[in-house]
Amino acid sequence: MPEFRIVDAGEVKLRCAIEGEGPLVVLVHGFPESWFSWRHQLKPIAEAGFTACAIDVRGYGGSDKPHPVEAYAMRHLTADVVGVADALQPGRPAILVGHDWGAPIVWNTALTRPDRIAAVAGLSVPYMGVPSRPFTEVFDALFTQRNRFFYQAYFQKVGPPEAEAEADVRGFLRKFYYSISGDAPEGSWPQKPADATLLEGLRDPHPFPAWLSEEDLDYYVAEFEQSGFRGPINRYRNHESDFAWLQGWADKKIEQPALYIGGTKDPAATGFGRVADPVAAMKPFVRDLKGGHMLEGCGHWTQQERPQEVTDLLVDWLKAL
């Protein structure tokens, strides 16, 4: 197991899982995960000569869990990442790696704090530039107005999504993880009306795919049974404030050396069907894209479904910086 340390990031205290010595690599997870989603990458990154630090994002696990919705705006989450970097490696820019929501967090940290970030890698979610409108407007037009369910629209209602997830944490995680994994057959993320709930129509596979063992799932379940889901879901309730904040960088590109890794079966990689080629779509917005990789048949949980491939790509990129 890594060393666990509570780090004062400025606004909040975050639990960090740390291995190794050398230039700092901060690993940022997505929803609904924890530092543990980087369990396969921590040791190899450390052995490659780096300090590998996987954080629990605010609201998760052993980190602080502010109550207000607005506490989970992107400007706060990017500040948390910079705060960890300042605490663990003062005076020297850090390297960032993020998956799912962690990818927009690290992309936007690199964009808005180029003085503190030396290089950046994103898994699953490509960087598509500063948005021209809030994402709520996008999914309202594509889904809600067409009476189609979209999970981020469902997450806008404070209370019901948390209650649904917390009623059976294990069942929720099994169904959610499986439904957008590379192992799920076509139709596992069902089409349903806008007023449906998240779990309606999702399958609970038996057995679960081998990339997530029962012991792995036990860890996640214990984390969410103690933390709840309010903080994690609050992230989705800040699209308008994120849009307004990022307009200050509307004419900027990410300048640092960058890497992208996605899966061909990951709906987040294609912007839920809006992006044909994520790697090509990134190039106008990322000046120094050192590599873009789409893993054939991989679903959303990139570094867990394909741990060796992802680790090798990350370590090769880190060593070349």
HSE of 161 in the Cβ direction (CA atoms, 13 Å)?
Answer: 22
The pLDDT of residue 69 is above 90: yes
| Residue 198 pLDDT | 97
Share of the chain above pLDDT 90, in %: 96
Rounded to two decimals, the pTM is 0.98
Establish whether 76 is a catalytic residue. no
In the chain, ranges of CATH 3.40.50.1820 domains: 3-131+246-320
Read off the DSSP letter of residue 162: H
| Residue 186 pLDDT | 86
Strands (E) in the chain, as ranges, are: 3-8, 13-19, 24-28, 51-55, 94-99, 117-123, 254-263, 286-295
Mean pLDDT across the chain, nearest whole number?
97
d(CA 79, CA 12): 10
Task: Identify the sign of the CA torsion 231, 31, 219, 89.
Answer: negative
CATH topology of domain 3-131+246-320: Rossmann fold (3.40.50)
Q: What is the pLDDT of residues 229-257, one digit of tens each?
A: 999 999 999 999 999 999 999 999 999 99
Region 214-236: what's the mean pLDDT? 98
* Catalytic position from the list 56, 64, 80, 100: 100
The pLDDT of residue 271 is above 90: no
Establish whether 300 is a catalytic residue. yes
Structure confidence at residue 78 as a pLDDT band (50, 70, 90): very high
| Residue 274 pLDDT | 83
Q: Residue 281's closest CA among 297, 295, 294?
A: 294
Estimate to the nearest angstrom the gap between the alpha carbon of 314 and the chain centroid: 16
Q: What is the pLDDT of residues 134-164, one digit of tens each?
A: 999 999 999 999 999 999 999 999 999 999 9
d(CA 55, CA 239): 23
